[in-house]
């Protein structure tokens, strides 16, 4: 089954690069692309792709407003955020808005294809740096008596994130921890969900400490 | 514009004033947001009537002395529908005649109330009102622009103020009891402040703005200098390089530098942090061996001699990975938890059997293991042929 991809980026050159990269792969079908927020939202609602690869910094509100607008009407469409910036404020904001993963533009073609495929399958994509941010955000926190279920990372999740932050692939993480790749993916998805849903004050404080909000 | 049409315009304006409908009145009467002393009622009325808000304020002041203004001001405040900036309401077509009419209107009202018997006697009200109008004339917009008109206005205002003060003096017994010299000096000072106050204020404002402009342009110059030294130089170097690997390295090191410049200063002036030191280390390895080195730090901390040792050992491990593993990139991960700093240097390269480490690998033995042990830390190698290599460094933050 092919994955229908929609691309949003205000740099034409980058768009055509990604299109060329994906054209060689049978798995992907580029359904369309847009260079600004309004066009993107309209076209995505019309075409209903499986996954949207969206740039973070764009005129007119950026990737954040694309995600927010589309998920209002189409909550099933998945987003993979792509940016030159890996500043924590950008990464965390996109993830909290509902992006299933965050990759930087220095990513290699194979890795991008892999990330898109994985996001389309419903998994979360954690780069080492994103894993580092999440660990940092959840680090050194005491158990939360009021909402422990939602907010705390389990020791296993923490271990999986640390492995990813060390630069290992999901496959390597699975072998090192003697679990299946599917289990790694489950852990990572759970962490992403916690990050998206979490309203805990530790995360807020972490963001404030780093002047993110 | 003929006199006839002008009269029509004014008539239309006056008609608008005589509104029967409350909502119409409310939408006509707005409080000024950008020209206000108390609530902007006077500013709004001044703008609506096309006269300076100072005149409206003077009118309120005069009415206030009679007691009537104290009633009408809150009333108008209550009746006004919302707020609006008054600048765009001021019409240029308002002529002197209309202002004169308004002045007469206020004076008439004042005389009417004064004769009706109020808490101040007639001459005092007259004098104070005269002073108020003098102040309004002096403080009217357009001051600071040295036109003949504004000069004339200031002179007229000053004369009106002095006249008002003279009347006040003549009518008040209490003030005449003071020494005439003190009185004269006081009145002269007050007159000077009233006449030149606005000009001085304007001057101070201009100075502040000039200072802001200078700071802004200094910031711009600093940014331009930085971009020139870093980004433009790198572009020039890239244009003169044929080697794509070298280009990538240049671009990456520039990206790293720009990023640390843009986002790096956030921690304030706390000195160098672990993350800075690791980034510098990664930069050096990258430059030397043309292999990207990614750094992720969880829980940053300030540098100390022990931490320096870990960074140096990590740098040696990263250099080894870049030189020998054949991996396309090297990952450095540092985490501080439970009083321990852990650093992992990983590659996805060929890997090797740690037990069969050739004795000539001084770098690993001395620079990594030796250095870590000397400072009270440990190092271990996790590697298998074909599976990449990971060097694991552990250093307690406090000596044990």
* Chosen domain end from A63, A96, A123: A123
Which residue in B has a C-alpha nearest to residue A131's C-alpha?
B296
- Contacting residues for B121 by C-beta, under 8 A, at least 6 apart: B171
HSE (side-chain half, CA atoms, 13 Å) at B385: 4
Say yes or no for a CB contact (<8 Å) between B263 and A166.
no
Q: Which residue has the tokens 């007050």?
A: B190
B356: which 2 tokens? 């069969």
The pLDDT tens digits for A1-21 are: 789 999 999 888 888 889 988
- Residue B250 near residue B238, CB atoms below 8 Å: yes
- Residue A58 near residue A36, CB atoms below 8 Å: yes
* pLDDT confidence of residue B304: 86
CB-CB neighbors (< 8 A) of A166 in chain B:
331, 333, 344, 346, 390
- Contacting residues for A62 by C-beta, under 8 A, at least 6 apart: A37, A55, A56
* pLDDT confidence of residue B13: 46
- Considering only the beta carbons, identify the residue of A132, A140, A168 that sits closest to B297: A132
Reduced to 3 states (helix: H, G, I; strand: E, B; else coil), residue A88 is helix
Q: Which range, A76-80, A118-122, A205-209, B224-228, has the best average confidence (pLDDT)?
A: A76-80
In chain B, how long is the greatest CA-to-CA distance?
A: 115
Q: Enter the pTM of the model.
A: 0.56
Say yes or no for a CB contact (<8 Å) between B333 and A162.
yes
Say yes or no for a CB contact (<8 Å) between B390 and A166.
yes
Complex prediction ipTM: 0.77
Same domain, A59 and A158: no
Same domain, A58 and A153: no
CATH assignment of the domain containing A147 = 1.10.10.10
* Chosen domain end from A123, A154, A187: A123
Same domain, A20 and A107: yes
* pLDDT confidence of residue B360: 66
Q: Which residue has the tokens 């005269």?
A: B130
Same domain, A45 and A119: yes
Instruction: Look at residue B22 and tell me whether its pLDDT is greater than 60.
Output: no
B278: which 2 tokens? 């690791």
Same domain, A9 and A96: yes
Structural domain total, chain A: 2
Same domain, A41 and A90: yes
Reduced to 3 states (helix: H, G, I; strand: E, B; else coil), residue A98 is coil
Q: Which residue has the tokens 């600048």?
A: B87
| Residues in A 53-92 with any Cβ partner in B closer than 8 A | 84, 87
B88: which 2 tokens? 């765009």
Best mutation target, B250, B252, B333, to test chain A (most A CBs within 10 A): B333
Same domain, A17 and A100: yes
CA distances to A88, A107, A131, A172, B26 from A116, in Å? 22, 12, 18, 19, 59
Name the strand (E) or helix (H) holding A53.
strand A51-55
- Residue B86 near residue B32, CB atoms below 8 Å: yes
Which residue in B has a C-alpha nearest to residue A212's C-alpha?
B266
Tell me the β-bridge partners of A153.
none
Closest-CA distance of chain A to residue B296, Å: 6
* pLDDT confidence of residue B11: 44
CB-CB neighbors (< 8 A) of A168 in chain B:
346
Banded pLDDT at A51 (limits 50, 70, 90): very high
* Alpha carbon distance A69, A75 (integer Å): 10
- Considering only the beta carbons, identify the residue of A84, A128, A139 that sits closest to B333: A128
Same domain, A81 and A148: no
CB-CB neighbors (< 8 A) of B298 in chain A:
132, 135-136, 139, 165
Q: Which range, A35-49, A128-142, B251-265, has the best average confidence (pLDDT)?
A: A35-49
Say yes or no for a CB contact (<8 Å) between A162 and B348.
no
CB-CB neighbors (< 8 A) of A160 in chain B:
none
* pLDDT confidence of residue A192: 85
* Chosen domain end from A123, A146, A179: A123
Instruction: Look at residue A189 and tell me whether its pLDDT is greater than 50.
Output: yes
Q: What is the set of domains in chain B, with CATH numbers?
A: 3-209 (no CATH), 241-396 (3.30.565.10)
* Alpha carbon distance B35, A9 (integer Å): 45
Same domain, A117 and A158: no
Closest-CA distance of chain A to residue B83, Å: 30
Which residue in A has a C-alpha nearest to residue B338's C-alpha?
A140
Q: Quick check: A131 contacting B, CB < 8 Å?
A: yes
Q: How many CB contacts within 8 angstroms connect chain A with chain B?
A: 53
B121: which 2 tokens? 């006697």
CATH assignment of the domain containing A32 = 3.40.50.2300
* Alpha carbon distance B155, B158 (integer Å): 5
Sheet holding A3-8, edge to edge: A28-34, A3-8, A51-55, A78-83, A101-104
Residues of B at the A interface, defined by Cβ within 8 angstroms:
252, 255, 259, 262-263, 266, 292, 294, 296-299, 329-331, 333, 335, 337, 344, 346-348, 387-388, 390
Same domain, A98 and A58: yes
User: For the residues A38-63, what does the mean pLDDT come to?
Assistant: 90
* pLDDT confidence of residue A8: 93
* Alpha carbon distance A198, A159 (integer Å): 20
Instruction: Look at residue A32 and tell me whether its pLDDT is greater than 80.
Output: yes
* pLDDT confidence of residue B28: 64
Percent of chain B with pLDDT over 90: 8
- Residue B29 near residue B83, CB atoms below 8 Å: no
Say yes or no for a CB contact (<8 Å) between A167 and B333.
yes
Same domain, A18 and A52: yes
In A104-200, alpha helices (H): 109-120, 128-138, 148-151, 155-165, 170-176, 181-197
User: For the residues B132-151, what does the mean pLDDT come to?
Assistant: 61
Banded pLDDT at B90 (limits 50, 70, 90): very low
Closest-CA distance of chain B to residue A130, Å: 9
Domain residue limits at A183: 131-209
- Considering only the beta carbons, identify the residue of A87, A128, A169 that sits closest to B294: A128
- Considering only the beta carbons, identify the residue of B255, B296, B330 that sits closest to A132: B296
Instruction: Look at residue B74 and tell me whether its pLDDT is greater than 50.
Output: yes
| DSSP letter for each residue of A16-39 | HHHHHHHHT-TTEEEEEEESSHHH
Closest-CA distance of chain A to residue B390, Å: 9
CB-CB neighbors (< 8 A) of A165 in chain B:
296, 298, 333, 335
The pLDDT tens digits for A76-115 are: 899 999 887 777 777 878 888 889 988 888 788 888 998 9
Instruction: Look at residue B88 and tell me whether its pLDDT is greater than 50.
Output: no
- Residue B388 near residue B344, CB atoms below 8 Å: no
Question: Around Cβ B85, how many Cβ atoms within 10 Å?
Answer: 15
The pLDDT tens digits for B279-307 are: 889 988 888 888 889 899 888 888 888 89
**Rounded to the nearest 5 degrees, what angle is found at the Cα of B260, between the Cα atoms of B259 and B263?**
80
Banded pLDDT at B395 (limits 50, 70, 90): very high
Higher pLDDT, A18 or B198: A18
* Alpha carbon distance A180, A172 (integer Å): 10
* Alpha carbon distance A151, B10 (integer Å): 69
HSE (side-chain half, CA atoms, 13 Å) at A207: 16
Best mutation target, A132, A167, A175, A209, to test chain B (most B CBs within 10 A): A167
Say yes or no for a CB contact (<8 Å) between A139 and B299.
yes
- Residue A92 near residue A70, CB atoms below 8 Å: no
Same domain, A16 and A117: yes
In chain A, how long is the greatest CA-to-CA distance?
A: 51
Which residue in A has a C-alpha nearest to residue B345's C-alpha?
A166
Say yes or no for a CB contact (<8 Å) between B266 and A210.
yes
Eight-state DSSP code of residue A213: -
Instruction: Look at residue B143 and tell me whether its pLDDT is greater than 50.
Output: no
- Residue B281 near residue B314, CB atoms below 8 Å: yes
Three-state SS string across chain B, please?
Answer: CCHHHHHHHHHHHHHHHCCCCHHHHHHHCCEECCCCCCCCHHHHHHHHHCCCHHHHHHHHHHHHHHCHHHHHHHHHHHHCCCEECCHHHCCCCCCHHHHHHHHHHHHHHHHHHHHCCCCCCHHHHHHHHHHHHHHHHHHCCCCCCCCHHHHHHHHHHHHHHHHHHHHHHHHCHHHHCCCHHHHHHHHHHHHHHHHHHHHHHHHHHHHHHHHHHHHHHHHHHHHHHHHHHHHHHHHHHHHCCCCHHHHHHHHHHHHHHHHHHHHHHHHCCCCCEHHHHHHHHHHHHHHHHCCCEEEEEECCCECCHHHHHHHHHHHHHHHHHHHHHCCCCEEEEEEEECCEEEEEEEECCCCCCHHHCCCCCHHHHHHHHHHHHHCCCEEEEEECCCCCEEEEEEEECCCC
Q: Quick check: A140 contacting B, CB < 8 Å?
A: yes
Instruction: Look at residue B176 and tell me whether its pLDDT is greater than 60.
Output: no
Say yes or no for a CB contact (<8 Å) between A165 and B335.
yes
Render the burial of B365-399: b for 16+ CB within 10 Å, e for the rest: eebbbebbeebebebebebeeebbbbbbbbbeeee
């Amino acid at each position: 089954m092919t994955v229908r991809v929609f691309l949003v980026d205000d740099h034409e050159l980058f768009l055509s690069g990604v299109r060329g990269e994906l054209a060689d792969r049978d798995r992907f079908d580029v359904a369309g692309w847009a260079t600004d927020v309004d066009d993107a939202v309209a076209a995505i609602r019309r075409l209903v792709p499986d996954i949207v690869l969206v740039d973070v910094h764009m005129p007119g509100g950026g990737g954040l407003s694309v995600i927010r607008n589309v998920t209002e009407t189409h909550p099933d469409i998945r987003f993979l955020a792509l940016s030159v910036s890996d500043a924590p404020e950008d990464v965390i904001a996109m993830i909290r808005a509902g992006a299933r993963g965050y990759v930087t533009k220095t990513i290699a073609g194979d890795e991008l294809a892999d990330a898109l495929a994985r996001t389309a399958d419903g998994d979360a994509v954690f780069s080492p740096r994103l894993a580092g941010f999440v660990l940092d955000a959840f680090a050194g926190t005491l158990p939360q008596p009021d909402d422990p279920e939602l907010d705390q990372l389990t020791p296993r999740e923490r271990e999986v994130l640390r492995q990813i932050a060390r630069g290992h692939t999901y496959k390597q993480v699975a072998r090192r921890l003697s679990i299946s790749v599917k289990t790694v993916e489950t852990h990572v998805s759970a962490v992403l969900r916690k990050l998206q849903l979490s309203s805990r004050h530790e995360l807020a404080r972490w963001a404030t400490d780093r002047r993110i909000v | 514009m003929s006199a006839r049409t002008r009269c029509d315009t004014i008539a239309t304006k006056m008609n608008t004033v005589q509104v029967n409908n409350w909502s119409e009145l409310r939408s006509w009467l707005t409080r000024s947001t950008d020209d206000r002393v108390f609530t902007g009622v006077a500013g709004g009325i001044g703008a609506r009537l096309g006269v300076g808000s100072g005149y409206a304020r003077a009118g309120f002041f005069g009415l206030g002395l009679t007691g009537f203004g104290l009633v009408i001001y809150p009333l108008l405040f209550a009746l006004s529908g919302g707020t609006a900036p008054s600048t765009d309401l001021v019409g240029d077509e308002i002529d002197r005649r209309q202002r004169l009419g308004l002045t007469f209107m206020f004076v008439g009202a004042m005389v009417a109330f004064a004769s009706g018997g109020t808490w101040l006697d007639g001459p005092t009200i007259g004098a104070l009102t005269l002073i108020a109008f003098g102040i309004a004339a002096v403080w009217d917009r357009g001051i600071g622009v040295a036109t003949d008109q504004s000069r004339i206005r200031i002179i007229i205002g000053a004369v009106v103020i002095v006249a008002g003060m003279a009347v006040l003096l003549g009518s008040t017994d209490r003030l005449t009891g003071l020494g005439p010299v003190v009185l004269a000096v006081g009145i002269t000072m007050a007159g000077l402040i009233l006449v030149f106050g606005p000009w001085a204020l304007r001057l101070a404002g201009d100075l502040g703005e000039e200072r802001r402009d200078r700071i802004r342009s200094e910031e711009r110059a600093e940014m331009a200098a930085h971009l020139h030294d870093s980004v433009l130089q790198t572009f020039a170097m890239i244009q003169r390089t044929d080697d794509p690997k070298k280009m990538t390295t240049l671009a990456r090191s520039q990206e790293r530098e720009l990023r640390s410049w843009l986002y790096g200063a956030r921690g304030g002036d706390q000195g160098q942090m672990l993350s800075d030191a690791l980034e510098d280390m990664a930069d050096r390895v990258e430059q030397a061996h043309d292999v990207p080195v990614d750094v992720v730090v969880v829980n940053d901390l300030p540098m100390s001699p022990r931490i320096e040792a870990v960074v140096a050992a990590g740098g040696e491990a990263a250099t080894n990975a870049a030189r020998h593993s054949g991996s396309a990139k090297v990952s450095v991960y540092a985490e501080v938890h439970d009083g321990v700093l852990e650093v992992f240097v990983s590659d996805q390269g060929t890997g090797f059997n740690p037990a069969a480490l050739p004795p000539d690998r001084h770098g690993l033995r001395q620079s990594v293991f030796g250095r870590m042990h000397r400072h009270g830390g440990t190092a271990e190698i996790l590697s298998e042929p074909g599976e990449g290599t990971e060097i694991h460094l552990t250093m307690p933050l406090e000596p044990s």
